[in-house]
Amino acid sequence: MVVYAHVRRANMKFGKILTYLTLFAVACLAKPDLNSRADDNGIINIAGRLFQRIVTGKQDHTTVALFSVDAGTMNCEICRLIEPEFKALAYSYKLQHGLDSGIRFVYADFGKNRNLFEQFAIESVPNFWIFKPNTIVPISGDLSSGVSAEKLAALVERETGKGAPIVYRQDPAKKYATLASSILCGAALFFTRKTLLKIFTSRKVWAALSIISVITLSSGFMFTRIRFTPYSQRGANGENLWLAGSQQYQFGAEVQVVSLIYTALTISTIFLAVIAPKVEGAKRQTLFVFFWLIVLWLGYSFLVDVFQRKLQMYPFKLLL
């Protein structure tokens, strides 16, 4: 009886070990359910090696991928514009075809997937790519004509043969928040209408608005908005380039730098023309004028240096 009890306990331990090993093997060999990773819009947010599990070169589905960057961490206007359109695209296909339609939508953020961006040698964002079944070579979508969900859907339909009418997902909380904000703004305008009237009838306010408009438009802001140019770009040696070495192209960072130069030049001119004559004392007035003349000279020197970098044949040069 004692021997039988020992044998029985040994068999029970062996059975438990065998059960655990079987469950472990099943967990390792089981095909991952990628649909469970999709959010409410039907998008799988990539992190780590998840992209390699989706695009293996042997996949039986088409992968529609957006490689972008969080517009909140980096000033990328086109990234901010395309994100809600991509969500609407994925949500529309989810409603029309379901998650098992043979098309997966994935989003890869630069901050969480630096190795993935280096693997595909991505130097600028955003990138709208389509990976067809049984391949890891992407088909690049042309974003120069716009980033609306309708245009993105046309690219997907051209490569997959499946289309979907675009439906923008309604967020009730956002709707009520917009309504509440509208009511608060209306109340604020009503109670401050006299003060606002004084402000908007002020010559100084309109002069400031005119100067800001001129600086914004002359610095290249409209060019980057229309062309959807990147904020910056990596050079041949991996350095971050903020200045495009061509007079026919411009980065977003370049626009900001030129705007700051124009602002410094404008402030210097205003101070010399308006404030300097009102400074009391000849010595103080002289120092005031010399200081802003130096700022003016340095500003023009840096601006001319930017022009020389963009156009090698530019003939003028100051301090730099």
CATH of domain 34-160: 3.40.30.10
CB 251, CB 232: distance < 8 Å: yes
Whole-prediction pTM value? 0.54
pLDDT exceeds 60 at position 157: yes
Could you read off the pLDDT of 255-270 as tens digits, one per residue?
A: 888 899 999 999 999 9
CB 273, CB 282: distance < 8 Å: no
3-state secondary structure of 169: coil
CB 231, CB 254: distance < 8 Å: no
E strand spans, the chain = 43-45, 62-68, 103-109, 127-131, 139-140, 233-234, 240-241
3-state secondary structure of 68: strand
Asked if omega into 230 is within 30° of 0 (cis), the reply is no
CA atoms of 65 and 55, how far apart (whole Å): 10
Q: What is the mean pLDDT of the chain?
A: 84
User: Of the given ranges (1-10, 48-57, 167-176, 272-281), which has the lowest mean pLDDT?
Assistant: 1-10
| Distant-in-sequence, close-in-space partners of 244: CB < 8 Å, separation ≥ 6 | 229, 233, 250, 251, 254, 310
Could you read off the pLDDT of 59-104 as tens digits, one per residue?
A: 889 999 999 998 767 778 889 999 999 999 999 999 999 988 899 9
Residue given tokens 């009838």 in the structure block: 201
CB 34, CB 43: distance < 8 Å: no
Q: Which amino acid is at 70?
A: D
pLDDT exceeds 50 at position 196: yes
pLDDT for residue 5: 52
Q: Where are the domains of the chain?
A: 34-160, 202-310
Could you read off the pLDDT of 283-301 as tens digits, one per residue?
A: 999 999 999 999 999 999 9
Averaged pLDDT, 115-141: 91
pLDDT for residue 61: 92
103-109, strands of its sheet edge to edge: 43-45, 103-109, 62-68, 127-131, 139-140
pLDDT for residue 30: 40
List the Cα angle 74/80/84 in 5-degree steps.
Answer: 145
pLDDT range class, residue 15, cuts 50, 70, 90: low
Averaged pLDDT, 99-125: 90
